Structure 1
Amino acid sequence: MFKLDRFFKGMLIGLTEVIPGVSGGTVALLIGLYERLIEAINGITTREWKRHCMFLINIGLGMGAAILIAARAIGWLIEHQPHPTFFFIMGLVLAIVPTLLRDVDYKKEFGAKHYILLLIALTLVGLTALAGEDKGNIIEIFTWQTYVLLFLSGWLASTALILPGISGSLVFLILGVYATIIEAVSTFNMPILITVGCGVLLGLLITSKIVRYFFYYHKSLTYAVMIGAVAGSLFVVYPGIPATLVEISICIVTFIFGFLVAYLLGKVNKKATA
Structure 2
Amino acid sequence: MTDGGADTADTDVGALGAYLRGVAMGAADAVPGVSGGTIALITGIYDRLIAAFTSASPALVRRVLADLVGDRGDLRTVFREVDGAFLLALGAGIATAILTVTRALDIALESLPVLTYGFFFGLIAASAVVLRHEFRVDTPVRAAAGIGGVVVAFVASGSASAALGVSPAATFVAGAVAVSAMILPGISGSLLLVILGQYERMTDALSAFVDALIALATGGSVAAVVDTSVPVVAFLAGGVVGLLTVAHAVRAALSARREATLAFLVGLVVGALRAPVVRVGEEVPAWTTGVLAEFAVAAVVGALVVLGVERAAGGIDLD
Provide the C-alpha distance between the structure 2 equivalents of 1:209 and 1:260, rounded to a whole number of angstroms. Answer: 32
RMSD: 2.4
Amino acid of the structure 1 residue aligned with 2:132:
L
1:55 to partner: Cα distance: 1.7
Q: Which residue does the alignment assign to 2:51?
A: 39
Does residue 234 in structure 1 map to residue 263 in structure 2?
no
Q: Which residue does the alignment assign to 1:50?
A: 79
Provide the C-alpha distance between the structure 2 equivalents of 1:272 and 1:166, rounded to a whole number of angstroms. Answer: 11
Instruction: Indicate the larger mover: 126-135 or 68-77.
Output: 126-135
Contact 1:12 1:63 in 2 (8 A): yes
Q: Aligned with 1:176: secondary structure?
A: coil
Does residue 159 in structure 1 map to residue 183 in structure 2?
no
For structure 2, which runs of at least 5 residues remain unmatched after alignment?
1-12, 61-73, 210-227
Amino acid of the structure 2 residue aligned with 1:42:
T
Does residue 197 in structure 1 map to residue 236 in structure 2?
yes
1:117 to partner: Cα distance: 1.0
TM superposition score normalised by structure 2: 0.76
Provide the C-alpha distance between the structure 1 equivalents of 2:154 and 2:56, rounded to a whole number of angstroms. Answer: 35
Contact 2:146 2:266 in 1 (8 A): yes
Q: Which residue does the alignment assign to 2:246?
A: 207
Instruction: Indicate the larger mover: 262-271 or 239-248.
Output: 239-248
Instruction: Indicate the larger mover: 60-69 or 38-47.
Output: 38-47
Q: Aligned with 1:16: secondary structure?
A: helix
Provide the C-alpha distance between the structure 1 equivalents of 2:40 and 2:313, rounded to a whole number of angstroms. Answer: 10
Q: Which residue does the alignment assign to 1:128?
A: 156
1:100 to partner: Cα distance: 1.0
Q: Which residue does the alignment assign to 2:313?
A: 269
Q: Which has the larger radius of gyration?
A: 2
Contact 2:130 2:310 in 1 (8 A): yes
What do the CA deviations read for 1:98-138 (whole angstroms, capped 9, x no partner)?
2111133x2xx632211111111101210113365289xxx
Provide the C-alpha distance between the structure 1 equivalents of 2:131 and 2:265, rounded to a whole number of angstroms. Answer: 8
Q: Which residue does the alignment assign to 1:6?
A: 18
Provide the C-alpha distance between the structure 1 equivalents of 2:175 and 2:241, rounded to a whole number of angstroms. Answer: 9
Amino acid of the structure 2 residue aligned with 1:267:
R
1:39 to partner: Cα distance: 0.8
1:91 to partner: Cα distance: 0.6
Amino acid of the structure 1 residue aligned with 2:36:
G
Provide the C-alpha distance between the structure 2 equivalents of 1:176 and 1:225, rounded to a whole number of angstroms. Answer: 19
Instruction: Indicate the larger mover: 125-134 or 192-201.
Output: 125-134
Amino acid of the structure 1 residue aligned with 2:88:
I
For structure 1, which runs of at least 5 residues remain unmatched after alignment?
none
1:162 to partner: Cα distance: 1.3
Contact 2:22 2:89 in 1 (8 A): yes
Q: Which residue does the alignment assign to 1:65?
A: 96
2:117 to 71, 86, 101: 86
Provide the C-alpha distance between the structure 2 equivalents of 1:266 and 1:132, rounded to a whole number of angstroms. Answer: 29
Report how many aligned residue pairs link the two structures: 263
Higher helix share: 1
Cα 1:80–1:117 change in 2 (3 A) is same
Aligned-residue sequence identity (percent) comes to 28
Instruction: Indicate the larger mover: 19-28 or 146-155.
Output: 19-28
Contact 1:118 1:224 in 2 (8 A): yes
2:299 to 252, 255, 258: 255
Contact 2:186 2:316 in 1 (8 A): no
